[in-house]
Structure 1
Amino acid sequence: MFYQLLKYVLLGPLLRLLFRPRIEGLEHVPEEGAAIVAGNHLSFSDHFLMPAILPRRITFLAKQEYFTGPGLKGRLTAAFFRAVGQIPVDRSNREAGGAAIAEGLKVLARDELLGIYPEGTRSHDGRLYKGRVGVAVMALRAEVPVVPCAMVGTFEIQPPGRRLPRPGRVTIRFGEPLDFSRYAGMDGERAVLRAVTDEIMYEVLRLSGQEYVDRYAGEVKAEQEAARKTQR
């Protein structure tokens, strides 16, 4: 109920007014049945804009930090994400990643839309980074299509570190669903998972026009943070 209230009464109309989202390829999102929407992640605003424009409800795997932040802001953020049915994901280790996959598969088993950012974190510089293979595991195990999605312009309206977005025009672009049925039963093959993930990321790259970095964003962020600490 709260999801629908936000979408159609409180947040959705405001987002459409401020950001005038241009939607391309919406016909590629299935009207019914399970599917994964896999997109780039440039801004905190991504969490709100895509659900606001999709006719169907979409459930995202959201990082656990959104549910455990300190103070009043942390409690409000956690309450919001829980109210709209988003799923906390612990990214600390492989076992935690397995739990996230299990939660995502539950969403797909209900014939719903699952949203995921294969990069695993927001891009800190606007570039597209290497995808993690969890999206491939879920696509193969659930035997569902993957719809690539590109958010364009959200980095400019709210880059990392900016508390509130500035008004601006954004584009949300969906590509044709990707069918990986040829890999049925091969979700345990590392090379297959890497190939599926890279195919998804290539389509996101084609839709977004970003510069691609063949490294994990989290690793690059950690290196840059370590370098800053060394320079102090």
Structure 2
Amino acid sequence: MPSSTDIGGAVLLQAIVRRVAAPLARLVYQPVIEGSGNVPPQGPVILAANHLSVLDSFVIPLVAPRPVAFLAKAEYFRRPGFAGWLTRTCLTGIDAVPVPRGGHRAARESLEVALGILAAGQAFGIHPEGSRSRDGRLYRGRTGVAWLALASGAPVVPVALLGTDRIQPVGARLPRLGRITVRFGTPMRFAPPPGSAGQARRAVTDEIMAAIRELSGQELAEGYNELSAAAL
């Protein structure tokens, strides 16, 4: 259980990120932000985005009109030294939640954590593809996003990120200068469709991925991104 000091420190970091880091990042990168009014100002909401770069989970909380929580591997919060401190600070500042990764049980526990975030009336961000795309194509979505939408009743806002793969391509240690575009689509609401639970989750996921593709214009890949078999 986090102490009151830990919680207070996290809240302070989040305030610093939104009031200092976010305006600074906008000044440097001048992102194009479209459709931010589609994000409900309050209540639970799922932001489902494509995934091109490690920057994606940082960019969305910085440009969204309200705080957005993402899940992050617990190992990131335990790294030693200055680099570990910097990673923890950045992740805490964007309201990232540490979770174990690897295997079916860890994936299920991660979804339960996400469901708790939505139950608290917060915004939760997820990349249905799992791992980032290394060739720029949009891969088939994994059904965790549909499980969350159907279990919580929260609307899903599709999100397209463009240009983050040029800002920090695979293998680059530091981000480069460049232009980023973030498009927030129209909220989508889902009632359980007919058929089995598995079929329902697949249908909802495919509909969400189609909305993301319409926003991003990416070429479709035929299958899953197998680099992240244990991803949400």
Shorter chain as normaliser: what TM range? 0.7 to 0.9
Aligned residues: 218
1:49 and 2:63 are equivalent in the alignment = no
Aligned equivalent of 1:214, options 213, 217, 222: 222
Aligned twin of 2:14 = 3
How many Å apart are 1:89 and its aligned residue? 3.5
CA distance in 1, matches of 2:131, 2:228: 10
Distance change in 2, residues 1:125/1:68 (3 Å): farther
How many Å apart are 1:100 and its aligned residue? 0.5
Residue 206 of structure 1 aligns with an amino acid whose one-letter code is: E
Residue 208 of structure 2 aligns with an amino acid whose one-letter code is: I
TM-score computed with the length of structure 2 as normaliser: 0.86
Aligned twin of 1:192 = 200
Contact 1:28 1:176 in 2 (8 A): yes
How many Å apart are 1:221 and its aligned residue? 7.6
Distance change in 2, residues 1:206/1:64 (3 Å): farther
Q: How does 1:94-105 map to 2 (within 5 A)?
A: 94-105=104-115
1:76 and 2:116 are equivalent in the alignment = no
Distance change in 2, residues 1:117/1:65 (3 Å): farther
Contact 1:140 1:183 in 2 (8 A): no
Distance change in 2, residues 1:216/1:88 (3 Å): farther
Secondary structure, in 3 states, of the residue corresponding to 1:204?
Answer: helix
Q: How does 1:140-179 map to 2 (within 5 A)?
A: 140-179=150-189
CA distance in 1, matches of 2:166, 2:108: 33
Aligned equivalent of 1:117, options 124, 127, 139: 127
Secondary structure, in 3 states, of the residue corresponding to 1:181?
Answer: coil
- Render the CA deviation track for 1:128-148: whole Å, top value 9, x for unaligned: 111111111111000111000
Secondary structure, in 3 states, of the residue corresponding to 2:71?
Answer: strand
CA distance in 2, matches of 1:207, 1:140: 23
Aligned twin of 2:7 = none
Aligned equivalent of 2:209, options 198, 201, 212: 201
How many Å apart are 1:182 and its aligned residue? 4.5
Aligned twin of 1:225 = none
Secondary structure, in 3 states, of the residue corresponding to 2:147?
Answer: helix
Secondary structure, in 3 states, of the residue corresponding to 2:70?
Answer: strand
Q: Which runs of 5+ in 2 are unaligned?
A: 1-11
Q: Which runs of 5+ in 1 are unaligned?
A: 223-232
1:32 and 2:60 are equivalent in the alignment = no
CA distance in 1, matches of 2:135, 2:24: 27
Contact 1:15 1:49 in 2 (8 A): no
